[in-house]
Amino acid sequence: MDMDKLVSLCKRRGFIFPSSEIYGGINGFWDYGPLGVELKRNIKDAWWKDTITTRDDVVGLDCSIIMHPKVWEASGHVGGFSDPMVDCRDCKGRFRADQLTFILFVLSTEGGAAPAKNIFFFGSGNELEVAEQHAKKIDKLTNGVKPGESLTRTSGTFLDLDPEVRAKFTCPTCNKEATLTEPRNFNLMFESHAGAIADEANKVYLRPETAQGIFANFRNVVDTGRVKTPFGIAQVGKSFRNEINPRNFTFRSREFEQMELEFFCHPEESAHWYKYWRDTRYQWYVTHGLKSSKLTLRDHDPDELAFYSKATADIEYDFPFGISELEGIAHRGDYDLSQHQKFSGKDLSYFDEDRWEKEKAGMGMTSFKQYLEKNKGAEKPGYPYQYVPHVIEPSAGADRGTLAFLCEAYQEDEVGGELRTVLKFHPRLAPIKAAVFPLVKKDGMPEKAEAIYRELKRHFNVFFDEKGAIGRRYRRQDEAGTPFGITVDGQTLQDDTVTFRDRDSCTQWRVPAAGVLQAVRDLLDGQPIPGGEKVSEGSE
């Protein structure tokens, strides 16, 4: 699938626009148009329903975007949430040092190494891929390496090189030599000031993740929410990161939405819950239409893990620009609650009353007395009844999810000898659920079609279209990803049946007009296409 085609369809059909486009746009910010906002909302709603509403063990939360600055000290974001950044002194271009890749050619002779034959830097995009193409050209040019000479090639990122080698390199934007600075750490948090005076004391941050609001409210939820471990607190909301290099359409933006769950459990049960959420989240994407052949569940190697994390896995999707992260599932141990406990001075441990009662009942008097003896002076029993819960964190991006579902849905196929572009969304995610069409604008067809449209509109987002040839109207809805089309024609006026068209197969059936609402409802619930007389198959 060609990414440019998808970006242009998103613009043309009102899924996604560059933010502030009339002023030339602003890098890293995007707006969702009428179809895009429905698609993203359906994704967030499906996540919310599957993660919270239909479960007994997860509650929701909606925290403020700006929080006490100490939250970000405790979380480690003030000190550590940064990317190594390189500037060009000449053109003022700015690059992430870990994304600035190079290919270095060294021509060696028998007598010793000659100077570097050539060096390439690429600042962004599919760096190595582009570099490889250039490399092939170089290889061709150097096919004529003389006897006694050999050409070696190494590659890596800016960070892999010695400072004196880095100093010589060429800027990938302006192509000037020796203009790049040494890498410097650049904090990704957006800063602002709360209050009238813009000084250090009033400095605040836009949250770079929604998770910390959940940890900061852990005590509140435990004290008021009647929750018992294992339980989760979930949140959907905007996060902000001043990404050095926003790219790949909405994939890496500076303002984006996250769907995060913090699942709190007993330390001894955490390995079980980690595996549970890792598998459940992977399956969620498959259920909603991402092909498992395009999804990877990648376990992090031990050297990739944060020092506090016992295990982390990424769910990755094969985007047109490469395999990239959709969601991370991390076993964070008790790191976050312990940090907030330390920085706030508040007790964030949890007394597991159920476990305590169960153990007490099973202990027998002698061992219970022994236990109390051993824990003398303690007001409450200690571990394993009183503990700082361990956290399993599935953290998903709503915008990345939206982009993956768009990429997967985009298809070009042929119907009745005609090429069409179609977005084959899962019906649950489709922005418009059904479109209603009068075949022609006469003989009472528009009135009948409108009555059906009004009935459906009370329940779902549906669309009414009476303009143009019916084939073109179908194509327009195919491009919007509308799964079902309902057409009122001459026969409707005689027997009160309509045609019901399936977007993916283009097959049409005749069904009673009175059954349309139930049919759409069943289809959205995953039931099969309604029976009835087949009118046409795969053509129109």
DSSP 268: G
d(CA 449, CA 488): 6
* Contact status, residue 284 vs residue 50, Cβ threshold 8 Å: yes
Asked if 88 touches ligand GAP (CB under 6 A), the answer is no
Candidates 17-25, 145-153, 249-257, 522-530 — which segment interacts with ligand GAP by CB under 6 A? Answer: 249-257
Task: State which residue, 127 or 399, has the beta carbon closest to ligand GAP.
Answer: 399
d(CA 498, CA 432): 19
Asked if 328 touches ligand GAP (CB under 6 A), the answer is yes
Shortest distance, position 315 Cβ to ligand GAP, whole Å: 8
The first and second tokens of residue 151, run together, are 């050409």
The first and second tokens of residue 213, run together, are 């609001």
* Binding-site size, ligand GAP (CB under 6 A): 18
* Contact status, residue 436 vs residue 488, Cβ threshold 8 Å: yes
Shortest distance, position 181 Cβ to ligand GAP, whole Å: 23
Distances (CA, A) of 88 to 96, 119, 169, 175, 238: 12, 17, 10, 10, 32
Residue of closest CB approach to ligand GAP: 397
Helix (H) or strand (E) holding 532: none
Task: State which residue, 213 or 446, has the beta carbon closest to ligand GAP.
Answer: 213
Asked if 213 touches ligand GAP (CB under 6 A), the answer is no
Asked if 478 touches ligand GAP (CB under 6 A), the answer is no
Asked if 327 touches ligand GAP (CB under 6 A), the answer is yes
Shortest distance, position 64 Cβ to ligand GAP, whole Å: 17
Shortest distance, position 468 Cβ to ligand GAP, whole Å: 37
Shortest distance, position 426 Cβ to ligand GAP, whole Å: 19
Shortest distance, position 358 Cβ to ligand GAP, whole Å: 33
Strand partners, 60: 234
Task: State which residue, 335 or 453, has the beta carbon closest to ligand GAP.
Answer: 335
| Of the residues 13, 44, 166, 241, which one makes contact with ligand GAP according to CB under 6 A | 241
Task: State which residue, 285 or 437, has the beta carbon closest to ligand GAP.
Answer: 285
Asked if 326 touches ligand GAP (CB under 6 A), the answer is yes
Report residue 452: phi and psi, to 5°.
-65, -45
Asked if 243 touches ligand GAP (CB under 6 A), the answer is yes
Q: Which residue has the tokens 């499906």?
A: 46
Task: State which residue, 300 or 521, has the beta carbon closest to ligand GAP.
Answer: 300
Q: State the distance between the two ends of the chain, measured CA to CA, in whole angstroms.
A: 26
The residue ranges of DSSP E strands in 27-140, in sequence order, are 30-32, 58-60, 82-87, 94-96, 101-109, 112-122
Buried b (16+ CB within 10 A) or exposed e, 340-376: bbeeeeeebbbebeebeeebeeeeeeeeeeeeeeeee
Asked if 235 touches ligand GAP (CB under 6 A), the answer is no
Shortest distance, position 79 Cβ to ligand GAP, whole Å: 16
Which residues ranging from 341 to 400 are in contact with ligand GAP (CB under 6 A)?
395-397, 399-400
d(CA 78, CA 343): 13
**CA angle 47-48-50, nearest 5°?**
65
| Of the residues 57, 139, 149, 325, which one makes contact with ligand GAP according to CB under 6 A | 325
Binding residues vs ligand GAP (CB under 6 A): 209, 211, 241, 243, 252-253, 256, 258, 260, 325-328, 395-397, 399-400
